[in-house]
Structure 1
Amino acid sequence: MYRLRTTAALALARTAGTLSRRLGLGGGTSLPGQVARILDPTILTNFCTALPEGVALIAGTNGKTTTSRMVATILEQAGKPLLHNRAGANLLPGLTTVAIADADWRGRPHAHQALFETDEAALPQAIAETRPRLVVLLNLFRDQLDRYGEIDTIASHWRTALQTLPPTSTVVFNADDPALASIVQGLSAQIIAFGLADVRQATGAALHIADSQFCHVCGHRYHYQHVFYAHIGHYACPQCGQHRPEPDIALTVLEPRGLDGSDLQITHPGGTVQFRLPLPGLYNAQNALAATAATLALGITPATISSALQNFQAAFGRIERITAGPNGPPLLIALIKNPVGASETVRMFTTATDQPLHLLIAINDRFADGTDVSWLWDADFEPLAQRVAHVTVSGTRAADMALRLDYAGVAGEVITVIDDLPAALDAALSRLPPGETLAVLPTYTAMLDLRSEISRRGWAKPFWEA
């Protein structure tokens, strides 16, 4: 009965995925998993249990798609047969869809191991169903309060799930995030901390949107010796002594190279890793640090890690470079979806170049974006004042974004509002001087809309093929 149920689930799920793609309803990145889970609720657990090298999960508010793509790149270069939800479908149906695509007719895997980026709210159930060998925790920030609630709620659910991990599992976590440092205390699983050590990058940015400001032991406000952004930094509680754990793996040197990337030096118990990361910004350096810590925990050599990361290609919409047609101008697409992520993206662009910026910002308020766009007022758009040559604003909440830019000090005469995204893209490109780059900052569904449009024009592949 078990095999019959699994075989039927696989057949119907694969048919659903094929129909979804042929009818133009999407990439079939979640629907097959939804169908399979109805017919066989244990299909993902049974699949993951059969993987010879187990499962790695990557979770966090920001950076999980890029970090998981980095880890996948490293493992592939190491010659590890890998299963990965590369298209970014990170809820349980998406993870199940990826498993289905790799399974034989009995539901058993061809790959040796699986790497899943996982939605914050889905992580506890993902841990329960996949029984991971490795869990990587990047950060916890306020994001889509209408879906997730406050970060303390998410942190509590994460801790409960992590407590179920056995001593044979490993949790790799960001020591610079006090919420994560708190929830890993006392786990049976092995823990590995990573963190930032180049305090030249501690500019104290976006302090007004710090979420984890109070000690998780006694409730007293943390004292920060260094703040990199928001609540990410070197902290200690002056009342009870709770403090940032010493990182096992640390980013000791970060030398920015404009929009071309950064030179990084990472120390680990066995020595150092040095490479040029072809993605700009502190955020991406942190992602590379997390990927290094994760793959060292999986036994990958430092030489393989540095070689893979210095040739890394960005995930779709995450500092992704696309040319607008043959001999067309370049687009640099950077997803924004919450106050911290948007603030760091703005900081990246305004510090990486002294040239006036040409921007297209597309803000939607659909369910996957979060229907509450009040986060725009928490994000730090003020650095754009006096730095914008022209900005085209689009999406379902274009007017809100235009108003936010006005309050941020961006001159009204350089702001154009065009609700329709394809028309906005054309208008922004028409204003772009020769030799300049159009920086595109979309929310999640706006990014998908943009991807659909540029793939229709033949500039890039659909997102599920990227």
Structure 2
Amino acid sequence: MVDLRLGAGIAAGRLSGALIRTLGLGGATTVPGRVARVLVPDLLARLGRGLARGSVLVSGTNGKTTTARLLAWICRRAGWACIHNRAGANLPAGIAAALVAHSSLDGRVRGDLGVFEVDEAALPLVSGALRPRILVLGNLFRDQLDRYGEIDLVADRWRAALRDLPADAAVIYNADDPLVADVVRNRAGARTFGIADPSLRRGERLEHAADGRYCYRCGVPYAYRAAYLGHLGEYHCPSCGTARPPLDVGAVEVRLDGMAGSTFVLAAGGQRVALTTVLPGLYNVYNIVAAAAAVLALGIPLPTVAAAVREFTPAFGRGESMTIAGHPAYMLLAKNPAGFNEVLRTVLADGRPIVAVIAINDLTADGRDVSWLWDVDFEMLSDRCRLAVVTGMRAHDMAVRLKYAGLPQAAVVVEPDEGWALRRGVEALRAGEPLYVLPTYTAMLRLRHILARRGLVHTSWED
């Protein structure tokens, strides 16, 4: 029997999407879901039940867009029909919009697997509605404190989501993150992923931006054999013995090559395969291992994973490459201290002084409080940045931060207009030099809109 209310909700959502696209107002990645859920409040649950292979949810502070995109990419290579919120709309309305776009008016879903990145604060609601087959938990870093609060509050929400998760759902988590490991510690059958190469960044010293410094069981500082990224690494508590769990899927023999990408060996279940990727930075090694762990749990073989990773290119604004006025340019989203530090390490990897456009906004999606800029190790740029053009709503705050990081006054230019900031950055380049564009989230969208009008990139919903 046809459910008229469900059909009306889907029709209204799709009509709103068509109107938005016709008027050139955007990609309709959220509003159709919002409209449909007004008429059908339980739309996520009802359409989610129509996915024959169920759904995979990916959540975490950093890396969920790339992880979910790669996961969907691998599944499609395996011949599966995926529904995916690929434009990054990761709140319930965005996930509903993706389902509405792939559903007929009688409620039948045109796809057999849902792959959805989920905002870390929205995870309990989305997980409760979709009842996922697999839940991937990546990492927890300080981010948008005015919206999320401290990471312990987000961790409590994740614990609530796990309590309501079906017993047969697979949980795959980043064991290198001690807070995430603590969240999942009572979940039977959970599987782990991480990096197993202590030679990569040996030593116990954590960077200033590290969050999870203390044992969540006894309060004693963790000791690290290797600290990879922020507080992620191979850790143990010298007091109670809590330690990083053994890895089910891990990256070994990791070799980073700056913006050119990396190579590493993926080890899982007694098998090993060499992987090559153009995705830059150690954070993308984590994203690849997370996606690989999920698709292996779905039954997709390692050779398929290796071939798909080799062909996968960065998501919009996340290591994305382009050519501006004959120069190579790279855009790398940087939205919190841990992520920004890793971006800086990546762009500085070849040792040459760089020219960068740094764009800082403070809209809701960025976080209104920009005090986090003082936790980023911009001191790395003090003698390795030939010119920093700062732009965006908080350009002057960024200029002050760079001053105290030790950059000479002549090396910092404030340009409020984002388009002119790009131009000034390009004009400062020498032959063959790349331009690095380092924006927060809404600044990234604004810069990509400017570049899309020039025909240099696709819009995010077309990418």
> Normalising by the residue count of structure 2, what TM-score does the alignment of the two structures yield?
0.97
Q: Distance in 2 between matches of 1:165 and 1:440?
A: 40
2: CA distance between counterparts of 1:442 and 1:209?
18
Q: Deviations over 1:289-340 (max 9, x none)?
A: 1111111111111000000001111100000001226xx2221000010010
What is the 5 A alignment of 1:206-285?
207-285=207-285
Distance 2:459 2:207 in 1: 37
Q: Which residue of 2 aligns with 1:446?
A: 443
Amino acid at match of 2:327: P
RMSD: 1.4
- C-alpha separation between the residues in 1 aligned to 2:337 and 2:206? 9
Partner of 1:456: 453
- Give runs of aligned pairs for residues 255-404 of structure 1, distance below 5 A: 255-324=255-324, 328-351=326-349, 353-404=350-401
C-alpha distance in 1 between matches for 2:225 and 2:90: 35
* 8 Å Cα contact 1:206-1:343 kept in structure 2: no
The one-letter code sitting in structure 1 at the alignment partner of 2:193 is F
- The 3-state SS of whatever aligns with 2:120 is coil
How far apart, in 1, do the equivalents of 2:22 and 2:382 lie?
46
Query: In structure 2, how many angstroms separate the alpha carbons of the residues matched to 1:365 and 1:26?
Result: 21
- Runs of 4+ in structure 1 over 3 Å off: 203-206
Q: In structure 2, the residue corresponding to 1:255 is in which secondary structure? A: strand
- The alignment partner of 1:208 has SS state of coil
What amino acid is the match of 1:364?
N
Superposition map of 1:36-435 within 5 A: 36-188=36-188, 190-202=189-201, 207-324=207-324, 328-351=326-349, 353-435=350-432
Distance (Å, rounded) in 1 between the aligned partners of 2:233 and 2:138: 13
Secondary structure at the residue paired with 1:209?
Answer: coil
For 1:301 and 1:139, locate their aligned partners in 2 and report how far apart those are by CA, in whole Å.
25
With 253-262 and 4-13 compared, the bigger mean Cα shift is at 253-262
CA distance in 2, matches of 1:7, 1:438: 49
Offset at residue 206 of structure 1 (A): 5.4
Asked if the contact 2:8/2:105 (under 8 Å) is kept, the reply is no
Contact 1:206/1:340 (8 A) holds in 2: no
Which moved further from structure 2: 309-318 or 215-224? 215-224
Deviation at 1:399, TM superposition (A): 0.6
Distance 1:23 1:373 in 2: 34
Distance 2:100 2:420 in 1: 38
Shift of 1:282: 0.9
Query: Structure 2 CA distance, aligned partners of 1:21 and 1:158?
Result: 35
Residues 236 and 242, structure 1, Cα contact 8 Å, conserved in 2: yes
Letter in 1 for 2:426: L
SS in 2 for 1:259: helix
Report if the CA contact (8 A) 2:62-2:339 is conserved.
Answer: yes
Calculate percent identity across the aligned residue pairs.
46
Deviates more, 1:452-461 or 1:253-262: 253-262
Provide the C-alpha distance between the structure 2 equivalents of 1:400 and 1:237, rounded to a whole number of angstroms: 38
Q: What's 1:34 paired with?
A: 34
Q: What secondary structure sits across from 2:217 in the alignment?
A: coil
Residue 179 of structure 2 aligns to which amino acid in structure 1? A
Which secondary structure state, in structure 2, belongs to the residue aligned with residue 94 of structure 1? helix
Name the SS for the 2:156 alignment partner.
Answer: helix
Aligned length: 462
- Kept in 2: contact 1:159–1:183 (CA 8 A): yes
Taking the aligned partners of 1:397 and 1:142, their CA distance within structure 2 comes to 19
- Shift of residue 203, structure 1, vs aligned partner: 5.0
How far has the Cα of 1:379 moved from its partner? Answer: 0.8
SS at match of 1:267: strand
CA distance in structure 2 between the partners assigned to 1:108 and 1:448 by the alignment: 33
CA–CA distance in 1 between the matches of 2:323 and 2:140? 33
Provide structure 1 residue ranges, at least 5 long, that are not aligned to the other structure. Answer: none
Q: Report the Cα distance in structure 2 between the residues aligned to 1:172 and 1:423, rounded to whole angstroms.
A: 44
Which whole-Å CA distance do the structure 2 matches of 1:96 and 1:460 have between them?
A: 27
Q: 340-349 or 207-216: which moved more?
A: 207-216
- Once the two structures are superposed, residues 385-432 of structure 1 have per-residue CA deviations (whole angstroms, 9 ceiling, x without a partner) of 111121111000001111111111112112111001011111211222
Q: Which amino acid aligns with 2:244?
A: R
Higher deviation after alignment, 129-138 or 225-234: 225-234
How big is each residue's C-alpha offset from its partner over 1:35-87, in whole Å with a ceiling of 9 and x where there is no partner?
A: 11111011111111111100000001001111111111111111111111100
**What SS class does the counterpart of residue 62 from structure 2 fall into?**
coil
Work out the CA distance in 1 between the residues paired with 2:312 and 2:10: 33
Contact 2:202–2:225, Cα closer than 8 Å, also in 1: no
Assess if the C-alpha contact under 8 Å between 2:208 and 2:377 holds in 1. Answer: no
For the residues of structure 2 that align with 1:92 and 1:124, how far apart are their CA atoms? 11
Answer yes or no: is the 8 Å Cα contact 2:229–2:283 preserved in 1.
no
